[in-house]
């Protein structure tokens, strides 16, 4: 009946014209899409079909996983906002990356004066993916914006880990893994250390490993391949990821991914970073004495495993991962990061502090999921029984470790009290005109960056328009200037500085021209 008049009930179509009728049958012109005019378009529409597939994909998402991710991001942000309001700045990284985000928001090269005059941060570490910070900073120009971005990225990784756990182990066990991961010591330390480029690596690793466990080669390669644009050392991680992918899924794509990681590791360290570095070198090449390790391999192995901080890191990994993560080949992806850290002569890399262990956490917990799943499938009853212990062990370790970790401070009322110097600090910073140059210690740098061009007091800088002396800033070390005016004129001979603020341990002096 398609195309018939509404009142025409003739099964074979419209009746023929009566004899002698002058009425002629009108020829139906085809539509531009090949459907005769007057006929309804019964083809499936692309847009509604896409909408249906999108809606179905959303419905398949485990709501508990995403709620866990959102809750984790909110918890991290509560910690970060409290830290921000206390003027608690543990390192200069937040100031540095705030300057980078400001430069990207202005569609410029990532010049970071905190590291030195005209210093291009892409000559320090290779992290072009951080250009994504530009739009976020443009919307909300503040160092706090970077902390929120990092917390959202970590929260995304929590949702991915919980989602994978729920799909492979069941709802209860999967949620438990997600919560233990969200409260893991590696992520807590990274949140407390404030922003670092590894914020992007954590969800990328989680997404890539999720795809490996789901036997989806293309997403595993695409997500994993982006890691080389987060930081140069992650080229080693991509190499390990590619080899595990090739072995696990028997695909040559894994070998190509490993080659991709090796290529960008060499390019970044030997070509890109020296080309953009003001000294024409890779600044971290001396952190590992490869020559000494090759000359004494046995001694190098002993050194790798010597040191209380290294033992603490390894013990925490074993506890947090419920030990059963070792059953998964994913655990091999932990090795590159652990090896370069333990081989370094810099002790700060060895222990569980700072952000260095954050990239280990997705590997650890998704390895746990994979290890438990494989043990559950064993034909041996006692092995299947052992699998039951993996997730409870990880959750128990998380709860036992929690009082000694960074988030324990959230149970203390003073954590939420704004710094008694907050108002004085902001009144002082308000005296510095927009666009002026200012030299400061670490604590106030991220707060000063949005409106001014900031230098760090530990570098050789041009004479700034303003100079801050903060009596409570740890940048000074044991000796702190008592007189900011005298200090400024001694530091920059031939200049004349005038005091403009002196309150609550803050001194601000202005250059007279």
- 231-241 confidence digits (pLDDT tens): 999 999 999 99
By residue range, what is the domain housing residue 481? 421-512
C-alpha to C-alpha distance for 208 and 161, rounded to whole angstroms:
11
* Same-domain pairing of 158 and 281: yes
pLDDT for 209 beyond 90? yes
Structure tokens at 410: 């959230």
Q: Is the pLDDT of residue 67 over 50?
A: yes
3 occurs within a structural domain: no
- Same-domain check for residues 260 and 369: yes
**Predicted local distance difference test score (pLDDT) of residue 36:** 52
Question: Could you tell me if 102 and 154 lie in one domain?
Answer: yes
* pLDDT confidence band for 92 (50 / 70 / 90): very high
* Shared-domain flag, residues 278 and 165: yes
Q: Residue 5: what pLDDT?
A: 37
The residue whose two tokens read 């992290």 is: 127
Q: What is the pLDDT of residue 41?
A: 54
308-320 vs 381-401: helix crossing angle, rounded to 10: 120
Strands of the sheet with 466-470, listed across from one edge: 453-456, 437-440, 466-470, 506-511, 497-503
Choose the final residue of a domain: 413, 432, 451: 413
CA gap 499, 478 in Å, rounded: 23
pLDDT at 16 over 80: no
Q: Give a yes or no: residue 315 inside a domain.
A: yes
- Residue 11 placed within a domain: no
Q: Are residues 274 and 336 in the same domain?
A: yes
The per-residue pLDDT for 46 is 72
Residue 35: is its pLDDT beyond 60? no
For residues 342 and 383, membership in a common domain is answered with yes
Do 453 and 373 share a structural domain? Answer: no
In a domain, 29, yes or no: no
Look at residues 235, 227, 232 and name the one whose alpha carbon lies nearest to residue 268. Answer: 232
Same domain for 428 and 379:
no
Mean pLDDT lowest among 25-29, 329-333, 436-440, 507-511: 25-29
Please check whether residue 187 lies inside any domain of the structure.
yes
Q: CA-based angle 243:304:212, to the nearest 5?
A: 20
Number of domains in the chain: 2
Above 60 in pLDDT, residue 3? no
pLDDT category at 447 given cuts 50, 70, 90 is very high
255 and 359 belong to one structural domain: yes
Show which of 365, 388, 413 is a domain's final residue: 413
Please say whether the beta carbons of 198 and 190 come within 8 A.
yes
Q: Are residues 371 and 427 in the same domain?
A: no
Judge if 155 and 272 occupy the same domain. Answer: yes
**Is the model's pLDDT at 132 over the cut of 60?**
yes
Say if 371 falls within a structural domain.
Answer: yes
**pLDDT band per the 50, 70, 90 thresholds, residue 17:** very low
The answer to whether residue 20 sits within a structural domain is no
Q: Evaluate if residue 9 carries a pLDDT over 50.
A: no
Report residue 378 as tokens: 């064993």
Are 347 and 439 members of one domain? no
Give the end of a domain, one of 397, 413, 429: 413
Res 2: pLDDT: 40
Confidence of residue 488 (pLDDT cuts 50, 70, 90): very high
Give yes or no for residue 208 having a pLDDT over 90.
Answer: yes
**25 lies in some domain:** no
Q: 141 vs 300, which has greater pLDDT?
A: 141
């Amino acid at each position: 009946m398609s195309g018939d008049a509404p009142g025409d009930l003739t099964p074979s179509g419209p009746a023929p014209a009566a004899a002698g009728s002058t009425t002629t049958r009108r020829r139906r012109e085809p539509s531009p899409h090949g459907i005769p005019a007057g006929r309804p378009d019964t083809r499936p529409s692309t847009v509604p079909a896409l909408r249906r597939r999108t809606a179905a994909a959303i419905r398949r998402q485990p709501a508990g996983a995403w709620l866990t991710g959102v809750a984790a991001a909110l918890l991290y942000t509560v910690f970060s906002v409290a830290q921000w309001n206390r003027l608690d700045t543990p390192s200069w990284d937040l100031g540095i990356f705030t300057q980078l985000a400001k430069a990207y928001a202005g569609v410029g090269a990532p010049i970071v004066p905190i590291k030195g005059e005209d210093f291009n941060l892409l000559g320090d570490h290779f992290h072009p993916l951080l250009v994504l910070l530009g739009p976020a900073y443009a919307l909300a120009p503040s160092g706090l914006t970077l902390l929120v971005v990092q917390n959202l990225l970590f929260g995304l990784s929590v949702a991915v880990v919980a989602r994978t756990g729920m799909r492979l182990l069941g709802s209860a066990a999967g949620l438990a893994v997600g919560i233990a991961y969200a409260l893991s010591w590696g992520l807590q330390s990274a949140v407390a250390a404030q922003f670092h480029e590894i914020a992007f690596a954590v969800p990328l690793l989680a997404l890539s490993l999720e795809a490996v466990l789901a036997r989806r080669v293309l997403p595993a390669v695409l997500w994993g391949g982006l890691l080389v644009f987060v930081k140069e050392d992650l080229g080693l991680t991509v190499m390990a990821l590619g080899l595990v992918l090739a072995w696990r899924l028997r695909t040559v794509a894994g070998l190509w991914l490993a080659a991709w990681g090796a290529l960008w590791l060499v390019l970044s360290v030997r070509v890109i970073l020296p080309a953009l570095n003001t000294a024409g070198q890779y600044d971290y090449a001396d952190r590992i004495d490869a020559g000494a390790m090759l000359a004494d391999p046995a001694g190098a192995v002993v050194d790798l495993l010597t040191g209380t901080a290294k033992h603490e890191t390894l013990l925490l990994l074993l506890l947090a991962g419920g030990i059963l993560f070792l059953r998964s080949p994913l655990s091999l992806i932990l090795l590159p990061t652990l090896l370069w850290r333990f081989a370094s002569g810099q002790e700060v890399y060895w222990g569980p502090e700072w952000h260095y262990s954050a990239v280990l956490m997705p590997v650890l917990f998704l390895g746990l999921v994979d290890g438990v799943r494989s043990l559950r499938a064993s034909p041996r009853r006692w092995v299947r029984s052992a699998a039951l212990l993996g997730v409870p062990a990880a959750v128990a370790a998380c709860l036992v470790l929690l009082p000694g970790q960074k988030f324990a401070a959230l149970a203390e009322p003073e954590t939420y009290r704004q710094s008694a110097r907050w108002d004085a600090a902001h009144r002082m910073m308000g005296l510095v005109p927009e666009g002026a140059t200012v030299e400061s210690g670490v604590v106030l740098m991220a707060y000063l960056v949005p409106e001014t061009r900031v230098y760090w007091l530990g570098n050789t800088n041009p004479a700034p328009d303003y100079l801050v002396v903060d009596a409570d800033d740890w940048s000074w070390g044991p000796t702190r200037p008592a007189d900011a005016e005298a200090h400024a004129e001694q530091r920059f001979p031939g200049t004349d500085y005038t005091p403009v603020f002196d309150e609550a341990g803050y001194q601000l002096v202005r250059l007279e021209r």
